[in-house]
Chains A and B, each alone.
Chain A
Amino acid sequence: EPEVTQTPSHQVTQMGQEVILRCVPISNHLYFYWYRQILGQKVEFLVSFYNNEISEKSEIFDDQFSVERPDGSNFTLKIRSTKLEDSAMYFCASSTDGSGANVLTFGAGSRLTVL
Chain B
Amino acid sequence: GESVGLHLPTLSVQEGDNSIINCAYSNSASDYFIWYKQESGKGPQFIIDIRSNMDKRQGQRVTVLLNKTVKHLSLQIAATQPGDSAVYFCAENSRMDSSYKLIFGSGTRLLVRP
Which residues on A are within 8 Å of B, measured CB to CB? 4, 33, 35, 41-45, 48, 50, 55-56, 58, 91, 93, 98-109
**Best-surrounded residue of A4, A55, A101, A106 (most CB of chain B within 10 A):** A101
Interchain Cβ contacts under 8 Å between A and B, 10 examples? A43-B38, A43-B44, A43-B91, A56-B97, A91-B43, A102-B100, A103-B49, A104-B46, A105-B46, A109-B42
Given A42-B104, A42-B107, A101-B32, A48 contacting B99 (CB threshold 8 A): yes
What residues on B are CB-neighbors of A108 within 8 Å?
41-43
What is the minimal beta-carbon distance from B90 to any residue of chain A, in angstroms?
10
Min distance, Cβ A11 to any Cβ of chain B, angstroms: 15
Secondary structure type dominating chain B contacts: strand
Alpha-carbon separation in the docked complex, A66 to B88 (Å):
29
Nearest residue in B to A54 (C-beta to C-beta)?
B99
Query: Which residues of chain B are within 8 angstroms of A33 by Cβ–Cβ distance?
Result: 102
Interchain residue pairs A-B with the least CB separation, the first 8:
A106-B43, A43-B104, A42-B106, A55-B99, A101-B32, A106-B44, A56-B99, A42-B104
Given contact pairs A42-B89, A43-B104, A100-B31, A109 touches B99 in the complex (Cβ within 8 A): no
Cβ contacts under 8 Å, B72 to chain A: none
Give CA–CA (A43, B42) in the complex, Å. 12
CB interface residues, B 33-62, toward A, < 8 Å = 34, 36, 38, 41-46, 49, 51
The interface residues of chain B lying within 8 Å CB-to-CB of A55 are 98-99
How far is B43's CA from A35's CA once the two chains are assembled, in angstroms?
10
Q: How far is the CA of A100 from the CA of B34 in the complex (A)?
A: 11
Cα of A109 to Cα of B41 in the assembled complex, Å: 8
**Nearest B residue to A46, CB-CB:** B101
Given contacts A43-B89, A56-B96, A91-B44, contact A101 B102 (CB under 8 A): no
User: Do A42 and B101 have beta carbons less than 8 Å apart?
Assistant: no
**Closest CB-CB distance, B3 to chain A, in whole Å?**
10
Among residues of B, the one whose C-beta sits closest to the C-beta of A97 is B100
Known: A106-B44, A109-B42. A42 touches B49 (CB 8 A): no
